[in-house]
A and B are shown apart, each in its own frame.
Chain A
């Protein structure tokens, strides 16, 4: 299954690495990553597509727990 991830992150050291690491470790392979810091500089908006066999709630639940992850939405695509 392919999923689209829409994430709002704190623009903090390690935030991107944590999200990518957690996504891969939970069994989802990133296919595309697109994102940029918002103009005020303290947020990142990140959009990813990933594929994996596990359910989307598993990924959403784990990413939502990251301190730097302020919002996450995972939807099939």
Chain B
């Protein structure tokens, strides 16, 4: 789309074409259709320019909601999410959502108002160095000190956010720059994204040589597959090579959940089949994954027999945590496409019988350790509910919050498209779910969007129920209420000798009444026998609706790799008696630290 050349008119008043008007036109030219934000003093010229503009602005009720909604919009659509806030507290409220986008590689452009350039550095009212604050959590940041810089900065911001490994880019926009005359500036022309580097032939040969020697290969697929738009190539690669595959939290759906070679998620709450396969494999083919500690468990004992082939667009990830015997830097689509046929041919020619037995062993373990959905009793069993819901709503986009319920979604939802699973993976930010669901619904009004939340997480951004209501977004919320900060409670039970400290939420509000107070339909379900009907009523609701689900406070997420253990040392509920209580969790050594904290 071209930017309109004339200043925009609203009612009887004609505004001069200032920096803010230029920026609004530039956003339109960049293809932005929706932005999420909240106004205030230092961003008022921008909001004035928005008035009457062909852009949909979603007024959230807290800036954190704006950042997470833009984040959810970007995750579900693959397009750049845009959020806006004023200086000072508006900008600082965005920070968690920006950090989440950085850690999960989500393309975003974040626009913050700033005090006028002459006041910057004087401790002016609502002056905060958001440029400095966000340095470690953005892909890049700019301060627009002069209106003439806007064309370059805006073009660069979108190009950087979209190119290579995506991420958030900040534009801090002083008020006088917004107000400065921009009549002389050219209409904005978006910059093309950077070309993705091709994998070097030599690195492909090394990878092929290693893979072709494998007797017990495993593919370890990560979020880079989705970011690199390589899901189809990944599936072709797995099908052609017939290597068993494990997936990270962010790659769930890169293979359909029922695919015969999909052993499930690896890591702390991964499947036994996935973790065992990785621990026993002789070649680990890593595709767009980064050896996150939640995935690897004790890194020094991760995949101890494996030689590693690591394919990634980001050269900084190759060899960062685990030596790569063969590293292939470049476009994952091209890498996978180039390796598929040669690997398949080599693998058919060599060690065919060994690999057939290995595959059969992996698949047999997957069957033996498959999750069960026949929990006795009348209490609602969250995994069964989620499994059932995923069958009733197979093409829904699911936005999760953080905690036990998030892990149950990862374990029990039947994903077949990773863009339909929105989860705060690397940051693990409670409060993500509801605003991310709003963003996902905004990018496709016809999509079925479900938010799965916990009683703790939900209250972190409960105010966004007002946004759901205002825009009539038909998001369905499933609130799994265990009257506790369940994931922390589980860790205190298992690793801190049952000293329950500040996890009790038994004084939760009446969530049904809360939802209704916002004008949202709500019901409660407390017995397993009522779940089916309750889910059907929920999904049939025309507008937004909430189902409040009472679950057992003591329910835990199983299986689990305890802190400082390797992924072969998974525990199930029956193994709890064997835990070395109070030594693992309560006295972490410095190197154990990252393993000694829950999500």
* Interface of A toward B, CB cutoff 8 Å: 13-14, 17-18, 21-22, 25, 55, 57-58, 61-62, 64-68
Contact = CB atoms under 8 A, between A and B. Distances in A.
B135 interface: yes
A57 B316 CA distance: 8
A58 B160 contact: no
A57 B327 CA distance: 13
B476 interface: no
A18 B135 contact: yes
Contact of B316 (A18, A62, A67, A68): A62
Given A13-B143, A14-B141, A64 B135 contact: no
Contact of B320 (A14, A61, A67): A61
Nearest to A62: B316
6 contacts: A13-B142, A14-B131, A22-B136, A55-B319, A61-B320, A64-B316
B316 A65 contact: yes
Interface string B128-146: 0001100110011111010
B91 to A, nearest CB: 16
A16 to B, nearest CB: 11
B534 to A, nearest CB: 47
Interface in B267-325: 314-320
Nearest first, the 7 A-B pairs at minimum CB distance are A61-B316, A67-B140, A62-B316, A65-B316, A61-B315, A58-B320, A18-B135
B581 to A, nearest CB: 32
Question: Chain B interface secondary structure, helix, strand, loop or mixed?
Answer: mixed
A21 B141 CA distance: 14
Contact of A17 (B132, B145, B160, B317): B132
Contacts of A57: 319
A18 B135 CA distance: 7
Nearest to B318: A61
Contacts of A13: 131, 142-143, 145
Contacts of A68: 140
Contacts of A66: 140
Which of A21, A22, A55, A65 has the most C-beta atoms of chain B within 10 angstroms of its own C-beta? A65
Nearest to A57: B319
B135 A17 contact: yes
B131 A65 contact: no
Contacts of B319: 55, 57-58, 61
Interface in B205-226: none
A39 to B, nearest CB: 23
A66 B160 CA distance: 11
Contacts of A65: 314, 316
Nearest to A17: B135
Contacts of B131: 13-14
B316 A21 contact: no
B134 to A, nearest CB: 10
Nearest to A66: B140
Nearest to A54: B320
A72 to B, nearest CB: 11
A23 to B, nearest CB: 12
Contacts of B139: 67
A26 to B, nearest CB: 10
Nearest to A13: B143
Nearest to B169: A67
Given A18-B135, A21-B136, A22-B136, 4 more contacts: A13-B131, A17-B132, A55-B319, A66-B140
A58 B321 CA distance: 9
B136 A64 contact: no
